[in-house]
Chains A and B, each alone.
Chain A
Amino acid sequence: MEVNAKQDLRNFLKKALENHRDHKEFADDESLFVSGRLDSFSMMTLVMYLEEAFGLDFSDFEFDVNLVDSVNAIEVLVDAKQAV
């Protein structure tokens, strides 16, 4: 994932957290969904963002929250799908 794209992703997640009135910083390896900081509806807006920004098709594989649980996990997912 390119640096700019990663920063855009971080900005998207930061805004999602702020919408949940969570203004704490988050690390790239920090759990966002399993930890409960973001909920399932935020997950779906993230899925739509990833579909649009990176052309991912989530119907291609079994969806699991751990695939998008942190910035690092999303980066791995995007890189793997773009390499195919």
Chain B
Amino acid sequence: MTLVFEDYLQIPSVEVALDAFLHGQPYPIGVGWACLLLSTAKYALTIALWSALFIGIARLAGYRLPRGCWRPLESRTLMEYFNRFHYYFKELLVDFFFLPTFFAVFRGYPRLRMFFATFMAAGVGNALWHFLRQIDNVATMGLAGAIDSFTSYLFYCVILATGIGISQVRASVGIRPSATHFGMLYSGLCVWSFVVCLHVFGGESSRHTLLDRVLFMMSLFGVA
């Protein structure tokens, strides 16, 4: 995919576009958006590829796993996106964060209970998973440096979890996207616009701070 997107199409990754922006030589806004769109597409395809590989191997071994990355472009809500995009990662977060929270707190407040449990899974669990995955940063940067380099991903988790939590609460009270073709298209576009914009902050590279990424995002809207 890097060969196709970066070598043949000559569309750089978001990290390269960020570097160019920070060195005072930003790409034109259109190219910046192309970088972001293609980086999101590349990330989605990578997840789909690995998911399909794992599910395929498990099925060959005789396990009846239902899905990995399952038609995420059809998502009409953020909750649906979270369910479809990385099914078993989500299930892991549900088992270790959502369920314990859900059964423990805010039992008398159904919406708050659902939101908080969702936030613990998609936000806290997600952040903890990724921080521990790069735990070697603590050895190389020190704890403060590792946390500092993680602020962008932490921001990503907080915004994603808040969005999914709101989406979950809306669904639980019966608010759903319109079932018309226009409604489906509109809600799908809203979901993926959110995902694409958030992708700027989701890079696990520790080279760019949250502020760098906020400024880059603003530049894509012509603000900075």
Contact = CB atoms under 8 A, between A and B. Distances in A.
Interface in B82-113: 83, 87, 90-91, 94-95, 98-99, 102-104, 107, 110, 113
Contact of B94 (A40, A48, A59): A40
Contacts of B199: none
Interface residues of B, number: 26
Nearest to A39: B83
A9 B172 CA distance: 16
B176 A19 contact: yes
A44 B117 contact: yes
Interface of B (DSSP majority class):
helix
B10 to A, nearest CB: 39
B101 to A, nearest CB: 10
B39 interface: no
Given A58-B103, A59-B103, A63-B103, A44 B66 contact: no
Contact of B168 (A19, A41, A47, A59): A41
B170 interface: no
A66 interface: no
A45 interface: yes
A63 B98 CA distance: 13
Contacts of B87: 39
A45 B172 contact: yes
Contacts of B198: none
Contacts of A63: 99, 103
B127 interface: no
A40 B98 contact: yes
Contacts of A44: 98, 102, 114, 117
Interface of A (DSSP majority class):
helix
A3 B13 CA distance: 59
Interface string A22-51: 000000000000011001110011011000
B176 A41 contact: no
A40 B91 contact: yes
A63 B172 CA distance: 21
A63 B64 CA distance: 22
B79 interface: yes
B67 A36 contact: yes
Contacts of A48: 110, 113-114, 172
A39 B89 CA distance: 13
Given A39-B91, A48-B113, 7 more contacts: A19-B171, A19-B176, A35-B64, A40-B90, A44-B98, A44-B114, A47-B102
Interface of A: 19, 35-36, 39-41, 44-45, 47-48, 58-59, 63
Instruction: Give me the 7 closest cross-chain CB pairs, A-B, nearest first.
Output: A36-B66, A40-B94, A59-B103, A39-B83, A58-B103, A44-B102, A48-B110
